[in-house]
Structure 1
Amino acid sequence: MAMAAPDIEQLIREAFPDAKVIVTDLAGDGDHYGARVVSQAFAGKSRVQQHQMVYAALKGNMGEALHALALETDVPK
């Protein structure tokens, strides 16, 4: 069963309470999402580390309930 955008957003917000999170259904199929996550928690981290942090926040759903997620992460300006 696929995850809904609000569920993805909730998991990310639980891990990064300060984050600005935008989740978009890229294909309109409820299975391919894009997420932009901006959090101070990413400061000093490489892009790979930032993405790993977001994947960890998804609590094992990546590759299971969540098939594809195009990530864009950043630190607040």
Structure 2
Amino acid sequence: MDALTADYLHKVIAERLEANLVQVQDMSGGCGLAFAVIIVSPIFQGKNKLMRHRLVNNALKQEMNSIHAFTQKVFTPEEWELQKVNYEN
């Protein structure tokens, strides 16, 4: 697999996790080795943080083999409404 891009990850996360909102930041300077993501999806409802992270990691299993650093913040739509002010620029 070639180096991953933020746009590619955005697309697959949105599709595979039925996400309402996806923000992907390439932290590696464009080489596709480190990403920070925010994911808002109703599939996280009723799941703790560990279960949510496992869902993301499983959904991106193939891509994770090419990523060296991956930071994720995951929210339900309701949680995001309460938290989004902390993440807006």
User: Cα RMSD (Å) of the superposition?
Assistant: 1.5
1:11-46 deviation line (CA, Å, top 9, x unaligned):
111112343100001232431110000111000001
Unmatched runs of 5 consecutive residues or more in structure 2: 79-89
Instruction: Report which of the two has the higher share of helix.
Output: 2
Counterparts in 2 of 1:1-40, with a 5 A limit? 1-28=2-29, 29-40=31-42
Higher Cα Rg: structure 1 or 2?
A: 2
Identity %: 30
Unmatched runs of 5 consecutive residues or more in structure 1: none
Q: How high is the TM-score relative to the length of structure 1?
A: 0.85
Q: How high is the TM-score relative to the length of structure 2?
A: 0.75
Shift of 1:68: 1.4
Higher relative contact order (CA 8 A, sep 6+): 1
